[in-house]
């Protein structure tokens, strides 16, 4: 287990370093310098370069850059809001995005699980068909189509929920974005739960447990559910990534002031610093989530741990 | 050996006749297993595929959309970029159908005093003008634009397939076949590449390159191959110890011959399935980029940018967003259904949902 853990952590750190290197190279390639004021003389520029360490060798600059990024010092924004520290820009937006993302995962996981279980237990009945249809639609229709449909029906026509996000009504206005964002998660988890559950229900150890005379409740909760749930953790990690991309679109539709919409504005207005900072944050979050999921998976299921150690 | 030789010697003068090659209990009773021997693997695949109704429906929709994507923009006199500001925001109107009370150019307008039905064609005197799916904010024909957009999505689908086949497949096959150090290095590279979120790769590319078709294809190239290479590697590991590979090696076949001529034909099933599943992801990536305004540049259009345009006026003119949304949803759904059907047809053991 220790060896596996160490290997995973090292890979993650290495990946993060690669990303930082790519970002650093991009920064070097970008046109212009941080000091674009035409009034500066060559001497003044040189002094400024010395002050910020830009006259040092590239290697040292890189490590300084890495240290700054890890400390959360991303520099200042050039275009979106001039000379505001980016960490400040992001600090107000990140919690909103995380809140909506968390709601979406919660809704998606719970409903998806229930739907998948329903389909598995009522296998080959009308319930199964309904659950299958819902999950196929959920997987194939993009989240912004759901977002548009929901905001048209429940926001514009019925006026149950606000069309646009407002911080005063945090909960009401995050209902529609969360639901539209959760559709893909829900559908994938439903599909996965169903097939896992069917496999477990048809396994030999379930037959053994049943023939031992265990009651239905113990049978389902102690034996079936536990084994079926383990692999579901693995699908959650890639789903969280889809939430990131999905959030860009959903944030645009509902005018949510989150990091997704910040990223889009930053790309459109060529605000390199912001784009790079956000790329770093997205990558770090992604790598962190993948790491946690892998470790959790190793802890929960000894078979995976042993298999990975063996290879 | 000597027994056989003796037997042959004893029968030296015997010439076999046709009857020697018949089954003893002639006829259907014993018969050879016609059900299985008579059908090739691919014929069975086709039969299994066509038995699954959802997959067939999906395929029909893909073909229909493809036909319209090719022929649709040429079916009326408008072009995708032609603007006619005098004829903007006209509701759908189709000759013939308008007499039935649908697609007659009526739209309901919500005003402060309630809703009323207006017909901009009559009000503005365009009696001879027909926009089948309506016209947009700049007076462009939505029918033509929708199908041009579908064309972009299909081009992306083809690009994704080619990328999957060229990069992902080759990478996975080579990594799995050579094993050892080669595999070690290639898998570490893959792990790192997989650790970078797709969104970040795409955004960084957009910083360096101009938005457009080439950038999108390039972004897909950097992200799409990973899934396929994993499948190809796993299949390769399963097959490379088989006897026929050993036989081919003994006969002096080169590595490339073994990888592409001996093993590849045997793993084509999972490969096709994976390609079909990666197509919707690719289409979605493009549509998503265009939707947030980072995809195909104007005046060209894709389904994503059309949805984005329609979104701006979807409370006042909801008909503008409907065609691209429906085509997009149908396209994604169809590819998923076909992929599901193909997976089951190619691998009958795998009966998932």
CB contact under 8 A, B294 and A264: yes
The answer to whether the pTM exceeds 0.80 is: no
pLDDT digits (tens, 9 = 90+) for B216-249: 888 888 888 888 888 888 888 888 888 888 888 8
Q: Which two tokens stand for residue B237?
A: 């590991």
Of B54, B315, B325, the CB nearest to A156: B315
pLDDT at B185 over 70: yes
Within 10 Å of residue B147's Cβ, how many Cβ atoms? 26
pLDDT of residue A7: 83
Q: Which two tokens stand for residue B101?
A: 């009370």
pLDDT digits (tens, 9 = 90+) for B156-180: 888 888 888 888 888 888 888 888 8
Which chain B residues contact residue A152 at CB under 8 A? 314-315, 318
Which chain B residues contact residue A293 at CB under 8 A? none
pLDDT of residue B60: 92
pLDDT at B31 over 50: no
pLDDT digits (tens, 9 = 90+) for B79-101: 777 776 666 666 677 666 666 66
CB contact under 8 A, A140 and B292: no
Which chain B residues contact residue A132 at CB under 8 A? 353
Q: Which two tokens stand for residue A285?
A: 């979050």
Between positions 267 and 326 of B, the ones with CB within 8 A of A are 280, 284, 287-288, 291-294, 307, 311, 314-315, 318, 321, 325
Which residue, A83, A76, A65, is CA-closest to A23? Answer: A65
Contact status, residue B139 vs residue B88, Cβ threshold 8 Å: yes
Contact status, residue B141 vs residue B78, Cβ threshold 8 Å: yes
User: Which candidate in A180, A263, A267 is best for mutational testing of the B interface (most B CBs within 10 A)?
Assistant: A267
Which chain A residues contact residue B318 at CB under 8 A? 152
What is the ipTM metric for this complex?
Answer: 0.73
Average pLDDT, chain B: 77
Q: Where are the alpha helices (DSSP H) in A30-169?
A: 42-51, 58-71, 86-121, 126-140, 143-150
Q: Which two tokens stand for residue B66?
A: 């493809």
Q: Rounded CA gap, A115 and A136, in Å? A: 12
**A268: distance to nearest CA of chain B, Å?**
8
Give the up-direction half-sphere exposure of residue B311: CA atoms within 13 A in the CB hemisphere.
Answer: 26
Which residue, B276, B278, B296, is CA-closest to B286? Answer: B296
Q: Rounded CA gap, B19 and A25, in Å? A: 80
pLDDT digits (tens, 9 = 90+) for A161-209: 777 777 777 777 788 888 888 888 888 888 888 888 888 877 888 888 8
**B4: distance to nearest CA of chain A, Å?**
49
CB neighbours of B32 closer than 8 A, spacing ≥ 6? B23
Contact status, residue A93 vs residue A257, Cβ threshold 8 Å: yes
pLDDT digits (tens, 9 = 90+) for B115-171: 667 776 666 666 666 777 777 777 777 788 888 888 888 888 888 888 888 888 888
CB contact under 8 A, A249 and B197: no
Average pLDDT, chain A: 79
CB contact under 8 A, B314 and A241: no
Establish if B198 touches chain A: CB-CB under 8 angstroms: yes
């Amino acid at each position: 287990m220790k060896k596996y853990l160490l290997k995973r952590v090292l890979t993650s750190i290495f990946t993060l370093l690669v990303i930082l290197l790519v970002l650093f190279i991009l920064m070097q390639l970008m046109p212009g310098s941080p000091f674009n004021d035409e009034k500066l003389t060559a001497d003044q520029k040189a002094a400024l370069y010395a002050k910020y360490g830009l006259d040092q060798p590239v290697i040292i600059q890189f490590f300084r850059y890495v240290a700054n990024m890890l400390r959360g010092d991303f520099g200042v924004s050039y275009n979106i809001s001039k000379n505001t520290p980016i960490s400040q820009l992001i600090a107000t937006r990140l919690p909103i995005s995380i809140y909506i993302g968390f709601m979406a995962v919660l809704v998606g996981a719970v409903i998806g699980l229930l739907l998948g279980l329903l389909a598995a237990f009522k296998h080959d009945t009308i319930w199964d068909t309904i659950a299958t249809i819902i999950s196929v639609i959920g997987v194939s229709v993009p989240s912004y189509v759901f977002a548009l449909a929901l905001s048209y029906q429940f926001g514009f026509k019925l006026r149950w929920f606000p069309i646009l996000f407002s911080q005063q009504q945090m909960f009401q206005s995050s209902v529609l974005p969360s639901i539209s964002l959760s559709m893909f998660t829900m559908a994938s988890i439903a599909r996965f739960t169903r097939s896992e559950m069917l496999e477990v229900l048809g396994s030999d150890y379930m037959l053994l447990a049943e023939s031992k005379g265990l009651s239905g409740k113990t049978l389902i909760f102690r034996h079936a559910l536990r084994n079926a749930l383990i692999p579901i953790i693995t699908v959650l990690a890639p789903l969280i990534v889809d939430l990131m991309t999905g959030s860009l679109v959903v944030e645009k539709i509902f005018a949510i002031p989150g990091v997704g919409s910040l990223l889009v504005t930053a790309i459109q207005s060529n605000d390199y610093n912001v784009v790079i900072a956000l790329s770093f944050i997205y990558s770090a979050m992604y790598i962190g989530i993948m790491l946690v999921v892998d470790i959790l998976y190793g802890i929960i299921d000894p078979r995976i741990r042993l298999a990975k150690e063996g290879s | 050996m000597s027994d056989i030789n003796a037997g042959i010697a004893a029968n030296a003068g015997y010439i076999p006749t046709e009857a020697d090659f018949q089954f003893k209990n002639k006829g259907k009773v014993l018969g050879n297993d016609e059900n299985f021997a008579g059908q090739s693997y691919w014929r069975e695949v086709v039969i299994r595929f066509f038995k699954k109704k959802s997959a067939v429906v999906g395929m029909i929709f893909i073909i229909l959309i493809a036909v319209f994507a090719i022929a649709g923009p040429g079916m009326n006199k408008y072009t995708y970029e032609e603007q006619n500001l005098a004829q903007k925001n006209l509701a759908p109107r189709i000759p013939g159908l308008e007499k039935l009370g649908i697609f007659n150019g009526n739209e309901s307008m919500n005003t402060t005093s309630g809703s009323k039905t207006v017909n901009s064609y009559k009000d503005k005197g365009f009696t001879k003008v027909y926009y089948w799916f309506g016209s947009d904010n700049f007076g462009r024909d939505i029918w033509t634009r929708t199908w041009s957009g579908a064309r972009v999505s299909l081009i992306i689908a083809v690009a994704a397939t080619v990328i999957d086949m060229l990069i992902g497949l080759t990478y996975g096959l080579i990594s799995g076949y050579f094993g050892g150090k080669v595999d070690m290095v290639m898998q570490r590279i893959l792990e790192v590449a997989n650790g970078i979120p797709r969104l970040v790769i795409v955004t960084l590319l957009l910083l360096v390159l101009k938005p457009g078709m080439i950038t999108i294809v390039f972004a897909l190239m950097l992200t799409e191959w990973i899934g396929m290479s994993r499948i190809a590697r796993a299949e390769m590991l399963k097959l490379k110890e088989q006897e026929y590979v050993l036989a081919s090696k003994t006969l002096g076949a080169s590595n490339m011959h073994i990888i592409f001529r001996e093993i590849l034909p045997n793993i084509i099933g999972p490969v096709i399935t994976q390609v079909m599943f990666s197509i919707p992801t690719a289409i979605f990536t493009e549509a998503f980029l265009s939707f947030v305004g980072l995809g195909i540049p104007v005046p060209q259009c894709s389904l994503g940018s059309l949805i984005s345009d329609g979104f701006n006026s979807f409370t006042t003119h909801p008909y503008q967003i409907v065609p691209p949304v429906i085509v997009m949803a149908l396209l994604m759904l169809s590819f998923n259904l076909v992929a599901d059907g193909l997976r089951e047809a190619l691998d009958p053991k795998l009966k998932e949902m």
